[in-house]
Amino acid sequence: MLQDNFGRQFHYLRLSITEMCNFRCNYCLPNGNECDTSKDNMTIDEIRTLVSAFARLGTSKIRITGGEPSLRKDLIEIISICKSTPGIEKVAMTTNAFRLKKDVQKYKDAGLDALNVSADSLDPRMFAAITGKDKLLDILAGVDAAVEAGIKHIKFNSVILKQHNFGGIEQFLEYLKTHPVTWRFIELMQTGDNAQFFAKNHVQGETIKQDLLAKGWQRVVREKHAGPAQEFSHPDYLGNLGLIMPYSKDFCSTCNRLRVSSSGKLHLCLFSEVGLNIRDTLTAGDVDATCDALRGHLTLKTASHELQKGFTGATKQLAMLGG
């Protein structure tokens, strides 16, 4: 089992397969990026070696992310590789869902177990203002298709923004009354290029948490390979609500995940100063050497990020590593 110097064990790999994204979210890529630009993404064989090494070291969950992972034409093969690797129990994906309605059955057939769908508003106009795309109805239709395809673990992600969707939280709660999904509110995080936007839009998740508790929501027990969200349930709602609060006290104490970028760099934290290059062992197809590299690099992991001090490391925008 991968374990750091602080006794934290790592069951969970967040695997970025591209930095490219076709949305222009105002908190991440307000000016967009060029989706047809060639990037030095890991190959299928390199991904196979990487996943085999992590599985050998006790990782049981992989989340495929980006950028927008469905921009890779070999996404279905990547899902299949992850799911067919001995030791990997759960394969999830985070997506903006622009292809979900069309392709979700293929994802399910390849072995996808869970979906996180980015949707920052339930108001079509606000959604378009935040993301640069008038696609909310298509995305919700894609989620319905995912339910029909038999994907049982579906979550929505919304970055809470003071000047945009913070006033619409009641819309999210109303949706959860009749839909058996989890909606997660994510605190806006400062990155290398959003300092002014962060100052104007950051909302403390603790404020939302205290309001939920006052309204009868209760904490749900956290699974071993769950992500960082604090999840809550309510007897009057079919769905659950989650809060991801990276600025909260002791947020890093339960860290159980590592990240690998689409270019084959190991990131010990979303806000690490640099990525650690393990590409050579992946290119060589050497699972043993990859395991050794992962063990060695893990000794460098620190106890916590330093977001409270404004340190954002090498993360210029969240599409670099999928958040």
Element (H, E) at 155: strand 153-160
> What confidence tier does 106 reach under pLDDT thresholds 50, 70, 90?
very high
> What confidence tier does 36 reach under pLDDT thresholds 50, 70, 90?
very low
Instruction: Return phi, psi of residue 267, to 5°.
Output: -115, 120
**CB distance 83 to 61 below 8 Å:** no
Which parts of the chain fold into alpha helices (H)? 44-56, 75-84, 100-110, 124-131, 136-149, 169-178, 195-201, 205-214, 279-283, 287-298
Q: Please count the other Cβ atoms lying within 10 Å of the Cβ belonging to residue 152.
A: 10
* pLDDT tens digits along 62-85: 999 999 999 999 999 999 999 999
- Can you list the domains of the chain with their CATH numbers? 12-320 (3.20.20.70)
Rounded to whole angstroms, how far apart are CA atoms 322 and 178? Answer: 29
* pLDDT tens digits along 46-55: 999 999 999 9
What percent of the chain stands above pLDDT 70? 88
**CB distance 64 to 71 below 8 Å:** no
Q: Please count the other Cβ atoms lying within 10 Å of the Cβ belonging to residue 300.
A: 12
Residue 86 has pLDDT above 70, yes or no: yes
Question: What's the confidence (pLDDT) of residue 314?
Answer: 52
End-to-end CA distance of the chain: 24
Rounded to whole angstroms, how far apart are CA atoms 214 and 225? Answer: 28
Question: If we measure between CA atoms, which residue out of 16, 89, 78 comes closest to residue 55?
Answer: 89
